[in-house]
Amino acid sequence: MAKALITGGTGFIGSHIARTLVAEGHHVRILHRENSKLTALDGIPHESAIGGLREEDMPALIRASEGCDWVFHVAAVADYWRADKAQMFEVNVAGTRRVLTAARNAGVKRVIFTSSAAAVGMNPDGRPANESTRFNFPPDEFPYGYSKVLAERAVSDAVWRGQEVVTVNPVAVIGPGDLNMISGSFITQIKKMGILVPITSGGIAVSDVRDVARWHVLAANHGRVGERYLVGTANYPYSLWFAMIAEAVGVLRPRLYIPDFIVPIAAQVIDWLRKRGIETPVDAVQARMGVRKAYFDCRKAWDELGAPQIDMRRSLRDTYAWYSEHGYL
């Protein structure tokens, strides 16, 4: 039995990692602030460690790491279209450095770092990118992805110094328990708007959170030090993905196709509106991403850690049922 500390354990992916670890007989410690909501951890036996990722939290972070075999560093500012950029870089980059330092000082055997597929580049011809594809977005246009790139550089520095770190790069994640409705917002939008949801020419890579959590634990046991693992289940064009969602939630499939030339114009309008304090349903980054095929080749993780176990139609049904039961729809 291993003892594991999870940062971000009160969140979507982190709580599922906790559940997976407990199911396998491991002891789980959750780092969280005193006023954190622990709803996502209902029914999961765990030990609490009060603290955070700020500079002044370092003593508490080291104490929380002491006696642990693994640290799963999941905490991040991920809802990039709603987040303050300065806070994003403070948490995602500086916070990662502090977690690595605390784990090293506490004698932790291995750190499993949750990065993102957003830190990987995209091929302009739509071919699925893999772990070796370099980030190729202007940092100002995609600050979240760039923050994860910088965090991975901190991981590389730690590995060079002899620390055991494995990086996991999830694609878009859905599943039961998505309290903040990040990737799951597609489901609520299509349920509410049906055929009026606009479809662009791009595509998305997706996975179920239960598989993503399992891959994290497998990375702790079997991942190679210094490697990054893209974890995902399938790539879909938006037209098919939206049709699958519509089927799962029982509405007519969206049919409003948006020509590619409209998207950059819409992104400029969104930028103009947001600079004047006018809120929009999506930001310019999301709008521009609509014409990109964000496809990823996850065969490395499948070969070395294991194949996905939950198909995406089941994932959509389970996610929709959870949203319905918890009053999100």
- Whether residue 25 lies inside any domain: the answer is yes
- Whether residue 217 lies inside any domain: the answer is yes
Give the separation between CA 182 and CA 285, rounded to whole angstroms: 15
CATH number of the domain where residue 41 is located? 3.40.50.720
- Whether residue 219 lies inside any domain: the answer is yes
User: Six-digit token pair at 192?
Assistant: 């509410």
Q: pLDDT for 28-50, tens place per residue? A: 999 999 888 888 899 999 999 99
Residue 81 has pLDDT above 60, yes or no: no
- Whether residue 329 lies inside any domain: the answer is no
Parent domain of 58? 3-175+205-233+295-309
Residue 60 has pLDDT above 60, yes or no: yes
- Whether residue 265 lies inside any domain: the answer is no
Residue 146 has pLDDT above 80, yes or no: yes
Q: pLDDT for 309-324, tens place per residue? A: 999 999 999 999 999 9
Beta-bridge partners for 173: 207
- Helix residue spans in 174-310 (DSSP H): 185-193, 209-222, 238-249, 262-275, 284-289, 299-304
Angle separating helix axes 12-23 and 209-222, nearest 10 degrees: 60
Could you tell me which residue, 301 or 329, shows the higher pLDDT? Answer: 301
Instruction: State the pTM of this model.
Output: 0.93
- Whether residue 107 lies inside any domain: the answer is yes
Q: How far apart are the first and last CA of the chain?
A: 40
For the chain, the domain total comes to 1
Query: How many C-beta atoms lie closer than 10 Å to residue 87's C-beta?
Result: 10
Q: H or E stretch including 318?
A: helix 312-325
Q: pLDDT for 182-232, tens place per residue? A: 788 889 888 888 888 888 889 999 999 999 999 999 999 999 999 999 999
- φ/ψ of 5, rounded to 5, equals -100, 135
